Amino acid sequence: MGVRTDTRQKMLVSSVELLRERGAGGVTVDAVLSRSQAPRGSVYHHFPGGRSEIIAEALALAGDTISAIIEQASAQGSLHALRRFGKFWKKLLLDSDFNAGCPVVSVAVGGSPDDQHLQPAVAEIFRRWHQALVAAIIADGVEPQRADRLATMAISSFEGAIILCRLQRSTTPLDDVIAEFESLIASAAA
């Protein structure tokens, strides 16, 4: 049982990596098998729904991973959560030589018509991130309506910064976003 689980997990991690690097359109069964070095028969053993099921589960894994980072760090305040999120992305970008992007965004904007059924899952992942940030910003003393807007701005800014980091091959855009949010949240809580 352990070997099957390891193969399945390797396939999922490989799929998340492919989503980050190539977008949803670049996640093919052959690419997943090549990256994970899994035998061909394992695809339909572990993922009877094929490519669609692989992408759905990789999306869930990526969403849960980032949600956990935000939710756990939010317990220490919204700025801690944003700094932790930035640190996660800086490491990922540097480790991938600036080839990694957000796997959730890749499904949101880069999927084929066959991937449209994943849009509700993407929306739920973003809702979860947003909700965790809103709660943390409110806990920092910001009124709820402003906290809602700041959380929306934070997610949008980080996703844009990740794109700019890839293009500029620099983590400066993430540093800039974090620095501005330090000022924004401090003034909003005052």
pLDDT of residue 14: 95
Question: Which residues does 129 contact at the CB level (< 8 Å), separation at least 6?
Answer: 66, 67, 70, 155
Q: Given this structure, which CATH class describes domain 56-189?
A: mainly alpha
pLDDT of residue 189: 77
Residue 142, phi then psi, degrees to nearest 5: -95, 140
Residue 106 to residue 180: CA distance in whole angstroms: 26
The position carrying tokens 């949600």 is 67
pLDDT of residue 114: 73
Q: Residue ranges per domain, the chain?
A: 56-189
| Number of other CB atoms surrounding residue 104 within 10 Å | 22
Residue 139 to residue 142: CA distance in whole angstroms: 7
Residue 173 to residue 188: CA distance in whole angstroms: 22
Mean pLDDT, contiguous 10-residue spans, the chain (190 residues): 71 95 90 92 89 93 93 90 94 96 90 81 96 93 95 96 98 96 85
